[in-house]
A and B are shown apart, each in its own frame.
Chain A
Amino acid sequence: MLEEIEMREIDEDRARCHNTRAGMIEALKIVQRRRGWISDDVLYELSAHLGVPPGELDSVATFYNLIFRKPVGRHRILICDSVTCWVMGEEDLKRRLSEKLGIAPGETTRDGRFTLVPNACLGVCDRAPAIMIDDDLHTGLTPAQLDAILGRYE
């Protein structure tokens, strides 16, 4: 069930938007913020609330790789795989992350702690290679720093 507060936030946002279609992304983000991901049930409720067919909403939801349509871990690691990061050692970083966590990109660790998501550009090419965990940016990384960083996220 959508919660009162979610609906209120969504409606407030919708009032600011040009049209309902434009409001869809924000609505998905609002719901995901509290629940971590968008389940089918939530999608249907949201579609009823916004008055758009579920397909239209899911079309938007599945387009963005930061709207999650599957459960994710407590912390989401975004690893930048754009050109600059790739030049600066992204591949190495990704391999080490995968090894440490025992998951491939797109997967979640068994203990539900981390989800690893590749991301095309985090916008900090000047400090490549970069990863983002939840809302924190970590830049200029070497594989050796990973342990310490991951340790901060329980």
Chain B
Amino acid sequence: MAIIYIENKPYQAPEGKNLLNACLSLGFNIPYFCWHPALGSVGACRQCAVKKYRDESDTRGQIVMSCMEQVAGGLRISIDDPEVREFRASIIEWLMANHPHDCPVCDEGGECHLQDMTVMAGHAYRRYRFKKRTYANQELGPFINHEMNRCIQCYRCVRFYRDYAGGRDLEVFSAHDHVYFGRHDHGTLESEFSGNLAEVCPTGVFTDKTLKKHYTRKWDLQSAASVCVHCGLGCNTLVAERYGSVRRILSRYNGAVNGYFLCDRGRFGYEFLSSAKRIRRAAKRNSASGAMEPADKKIILRSIKEIIAGGRVIGIGSPRASVESNFALRRLVGPDNFYSGMSAAEEELTALSIRIMKSGCASFPSLRETEKADAVFVLGEDVTNTAPMLALALRQSVKNRAAASLKKNRIPEWDNGSLCVIKDEEPGPLFVASLLPTRLDDAATRIFRGSPTQIARLGQAVAHAVNENLPAVSGLEQAVAKLAEEIARELTEASAPLVVSGAGCLSGPVMEAAANIAAALAAVNPRAGLFLALPESNSFGLGLLSGKPLDQAFQRAEKGEVRAAIILENDLYRRSEKKRVDRFREQCRHVIVLDFIDTATAAKAEIILPTAPFAEADGTLVNNEGRGQRFYRVMDPEEDCRPGWRMLAEIMEYAGIGDAGQWTTIDDIIAGLCAEEPELQGMREIAPPAEFRIYGQRVPRQPHRYSGRTAMKAHEDIHEHKPALDFDSPLTFSMEGFRSGPPPSLIPFYWSAGWNSVHALNKFQAEIGGPLRGGDPGIRMVGSSHKNFEYFKPAPVTPTPGGREYLLVPYFRIFGSEELSVLSPSIAGRIPGNLLLMNESDAKRIGAGNGSLVRVAVADAGASLAVKIDPGIPEGVAGYPAGMPGVEFMNLPAWGAITEGG
């Protein structure tokens, strides 16, 4: 810490940081545009000027850009000096010379950084009276709206899109006063992170197109903290609602998880909430006609009670249901009858990853910490498509070499202009070993393509090269052996090496090899990390509840030991072969489905009870790193919908099971859970209990400028409706309450006086870009204090079958492979067709070309798909679009036959 003087008063500030960051962290207000905490400084907009003085006797001072100054002991500055104030006012005046001043019709209005900075800089009256330049806007696809006239040329958009996120189709064109930010031509923005433009752009140029469809000003939005449900990383989100429908998702800053950003699946997937596939009413099958008919919940509860009384009831949980809901189901049916509902491979890999984490074989960095790795080896995962934000983090990691050489030359880390100049000169190292081409290939130093067995063998060879006491891999091709040496060398020499793997190629040996490498590295370097991605939002949490594999439920049904199955938020057709699920359905007399979307499984249920999706429910999800995170409902569930756990508690109460009658709030369930699972004690600490109050007050979900509340239901009733009550959290559905500084896990939106945009976040962080005041929310549930890791033995090489067999491997797509987000219309617009990826010579061999229909058959399943020839695919391998809408489940990877013709 250094002492610096601001307006002649001493303050402590971290040495070497940039001055703008330090001043904002100290609570001062300095307007800025081109600087962004995640993007660093370029000193381009000149808005953040302050005056710097040589020493105490210097009275004239010199105007400098605070974002380009380094904090050093004795630094003296003034923010308030009249000359520099005038300077800042004039800067914003010229930045805005061409700005159309169309706030009333601008989607950014009311949460606009430009508005805030204009007020802050004191540019109150416009003097520019001439013709303004105008632009044609572009059609940029389903996510982002473009309105170029509002641009103030801060360059943040291209710096984020191109330099930070690695996108290559957003550019800046021209010069002078007619610079243009957009694509070369109309067309969908290709980056998986394009939605962040809406938050990064300080004006209304790039805005959220899905919000536009049902636009509401920020001050009229009711919001709550939530957690993304669309992959296993658990990015934190802010969900905003008006008139009973969710209007948009913003990134909720978590310094340990997603930082400032989200991926487009996470940001735009929310539209599934209003999809036609939503289930909102309880229904029962008419035994005579066979049709599903809405029924009174009481009647349904009575039927369920009877079914339960009949015995032989099992429960099937789900990795997309909260810990609480899964636990409630386990309590309802009893631990012996509780099945996780994951596919065999998912189940095995989830358990394996939890076991590895518990073994403490290496350090397990948070998502955000992976940005700091300086050598990365990815095994078997196309991270952009399975754990998107991890790809964004790894794209930062490849700049760390360049950053280190800047440091050597005494150039500060935040000097982004310098970093961008040299970042491509010494990129990486990032090694990607995958089944098929990945979206991270362009950032990779070297790529290895092979089957899961080959990837595992490469991994084991790397582990051996790191620690020669580990078994050598025999019979490696020379090129592979050389690659293993190189990877091992880079990882060993790095100061924070990182090994990434996961469930992406559905192979245990690959994950084991990754663990071996990380453990071998960690034996000599405690910073060596392992990051294992898991497929779903609560895979890990479900894994902690020790449910039995789905296959065992099927086996039990086979033996006639299942009379009734209660299936929680799970479409079994995504988890197992159609034949087997069909058979299971026939073997169960009764099937009760609790879900919020109408799935193939729900379509065959006898009883359906509608549960509430994340926006209408509270619960806990445990992400891939074992971090338990609470999400809060932003509105009360409508019609018959209830959070899964509440619905199950109602059933238990009605059926008189256990102490369920006492389960009225989420806190009761968590207490019940902690009593049964001492390992999950952390659940209590994730968020404050419902009775938590600040000065006796709750935390409001609505901003204090929330308008129209009294008239919201005027079409139904002239009286103002009573706000819904919340017994599960300290939040309230109201504007009233305590609004400054709620505990981080509760923050429903960011706002601070003078800061209406997303940058209000500055006021909630202990240090800008660092953890939130009070610590980043979430608790890691699995400790690894005790080391008890035993190296995995390399898996035996499975013989390659002869004849016409192909190795079918799954591929996943950010837009397409996830069950819920594909129901969102904006995401649906981005789903590629269901294509079988093949190498050209393989396709030729079976007489197929691009687009020809082929038949794929493995042991228990088959499908007809169109072929897409992809030169990046190894011979003898074919990529199967696992989990995409309308694609049948196959237990992959597997050997199978591909024949011409559907």
Asked if chains A and B come from one complex, the reply is yes
How many A-B residue pairs lie within 8 Å, measured between CB atoms?
29
Segment touching B, from A54-62, A95-103, A125-133 = A54-62
B398 to chain A: closest CB distance in Å? Answer: 16
Are B175 and A62 in touch, CB under 8 angstroms?
yes
Q: Is the CB of B424 within 8 A of A53?
A: no
Contact with B along A46-80 (1 / 0, CB 8 A): 00000001111011001111000000000000000
- Produce 1/0 per residue, B151-185, CB < 8 A to A: 00000000000000000111111110000000111
Q: Say how far A14's CB is from chain B's closest CB, in angstroms.
A: 15
The residues in B between 158 and 214 inclusive whose CB is less than 8 angstroms from any CB of A are 168-175, 183-185
CB atoms of B175 and A65 under 8 A apart: yes
B526 to chain A, nearest CB (A): 37
Can you give 25 A-B contacts (C-beta < 8 A)? A19-B424, A19-B425, A53-B168, A53-B169, A53-B184, A54-B184, A54-B185, A55-B168, A55-B169, A55-B170, A55-B171, A55-B183, A55-B184, A56-B168, A56-B171, A58-B171, A58-B184, A59-B171, A59-B172, A62-B173, A62-B174, A63-B174, A63-B175, A64-B175, A65-B175
The B interface is mostly helix, strand or loop, or mixed, namely loop
> Which DSSP category, helix, strand, loop or mixed, fits chain A's interface?
helix
Which residues of chain B come closer than 8 Å to A65, judged between CB atoms? 175
Given contacts A55-B168, A55-B169, 5 further A-B contacts (CB under 8 A): A53-B168, A54-B185, A55-B183, A62-B173, A62-B174
B172 — which chain A residues lie within 8 A by C-beta?
Answer: 59
Q: Which residues of B contact A55 (CB under 8 A)?
A: 168-171, 183-184
Could you list which residues of chain B lie within 8 angstroms of chain A, going by C-beta atoms? Answer: 168-175, 183-185, 424-425
Interfacial chain B residues near A63, Cβ < 8 Å: 173-175
Q: Given the complex of chains A and B, what is the CA–CA distance between A53 and B166 in angstroms?
A: 13
Q: Complex formed: what's the CA distance from A62 to B183 in Å?
A: 13
Docked CA distance A48–B302 (Å)? 68
Nearest CB in chain A: distance from B866 CB, A: 27
CA distance A64 to B176 in the complex (A): 10
Question: CB-CB < 8 A to A56: which residues of B?
Answer: 168, 171
Q: Which residues of B contact A19 (CB under 8 A)?
A: 424-425
**Which chain B positions have C-beta within 8 A of A64?**
175
How distant is the Cα of A58 from the Cα of B183 in the complex, in angstroms?
A: 10
Provided the pairs A19-B424, A53-B184, A54-B184 are in contact, do residues A59 and B175 lie with their beta carbons within 8 angstroms?
no
Q: A: which residues have CB within 8 A of B?
A: 19, 53-56, 58-59, 62-65
Per the bound structure, the CA–CA distance linking A119 and B253 in Å amounts to 47
- The answer for the CA separation of A147 and B9 in the assembled complex, in Å, is 68
Bound complex: CA A55 to CA B181 (Å) = 11
Q: Are A59 and B168 in contact (CB under 8 A)?
A: no
Tell me the complex Cα distance, A54–B190, Å: 14
In the complex, what residue of chain A is closest to B162 when comparing beta carbons?
A56
Considering only CB atoms, which chain B residue lies closest to A65 in the complex?
Answer: B175
- B158 closest partner in A (C-beta): A59
Alpha-carbon distance between A63 and B180 when the two chains are bound, in angstroms: 10
Is the pair A59, B169 in contact by a Cβ cutoff of 8 Å?
Answer: no
Q: Which 6 A-B pairs have the closest CB atoms?
A: A55-B184, A55-B171, A59-B171, A62-B173, A62-B174, A53-B168
Tell me how far the C-beta of A70 lies from the nearest C-beta in chain B, rounded to whole angstroms. Answer: 13
Q: How far is the CB of B185 from chain A (nearest CB, A)?
A: 8
CA distance A58 to B184 in the complex (A): 7
Task: Tell me whether A59 and B424 are in contact in the complex, defined as CB-CB below 8 angstroms, given that A53-B168, A53-B184, A54-B184 are known contacts.
Answer: no
Nearest-CB distance from A62 to chain B (Å)?
4
Provide the bound-state CA to CA distance between A63 and B171, in Å.
11
With A and B bound together, what is the CA distance between A65 and B168 in angstroms?
23
Q: Which residue of A lies closest to B180 (CB)?
A: A62
Query: In angstroms, how far is the closest chain A Cβ from the Cβ of B161?
Result: 11
Query: Which residue of chain A lies nearest to B183 when distances are taken between CB atoms in the complex?
Result: A55
A47 to B: closest C-beta gap in Å: 9
Q: Which residues of B contact A62 (CB under 8 A)?
A: 173-175
A58 pairs with B169, CB closer than 8 A: no
By a CB distance below 8 angstroms, the chain A residues around B171 are: 55-56, 58-59
For the complex formed, measure the closest distance between the CB of B206 and the CB atoms of chain A, giving whole angstroms.
Answer: 16
Residues in A with CB closer than 8 Å to B175 are 62-65
A26 to B879, CA, bound (A): 41
Q: Which residues of B contact A53 (CB under 8 A)?
A: 168-169, 184
Question: Whole-angstrom distance between the alpha carbons of A63 and B155 in the complex?
Answer: 14
| Bound Cα distance A55, B424 (Å) | 19
- Specify which of B170, B171, B183, B425 lies most central, judged by the most chain A CB atoms within 10 Å of its CB: B171
B182 closest partner in A (C-beta): A55
A22 to chain B, nearest CB (A): 11
Indicate if the CB atoms of B168 and A58 lie closer than 8 Å: no
In the complex, what residues of A have CB within 8 A of residue B424's CB? 19
Given the complex of chains A and B, what is the CA–CA distance between A54 and B172 in angstroms? 12
Residue of B nearest to A57 (CB): B184
Closest chain B CB from A52 CB (angstroms): 8
Quick one: closest B residue to A64, CB to CB? B175
A54 to B169, CA, bound (A): 8
Most chain A beta carbons < 10 A, residue from B169, B172, B174, B183:
B174
B425 closest partner in A (C-beta): A19
Residues of A within 8 A of B174 (CB): 62-63
Chain B: CB-nearest residue to A20: B424
Most buried by B among A53, A54, A56, A65: A53
A62 to B172, CA, bound (A): 9
Q: How far is the CB of A43 from chain B (nearest CB, A)?
A: 9
A56 to B425, CA, bound (A): 18
A6 to B508 Cα, complex, angstroms: 53
* Chain A, residue nearest B170 (CB): A55
Partner of A59, one of B173, B185, B425: B173
CB-nearest residue of chain B relative to A58? B184
Alpha-carbon distance A97/B809, docked complex (angstroms): 69
Closest A residue to B175 by beta carbon equals A63
> How far does the alpha carbon of A58 sit from the alpha carbon of B425 in the complex, in Å?
23
Residue of B nearest to A18 (CB): B425
Pick from A53, A55, A62, A65 the residue with the most CB of B within 10 Å.
Answer: A55
A62→B425 CA distance, assembly (Å): 25
Q: When chains A and B are docked, how far (Å) is the Cα of A65 from the Cα of B175?
A: 9
Chain A contacts of B185 at CB under 8 A?
A: 54
Q: How far is the CA of A53 from the CA of B187 in the complex (A)?
A: 14
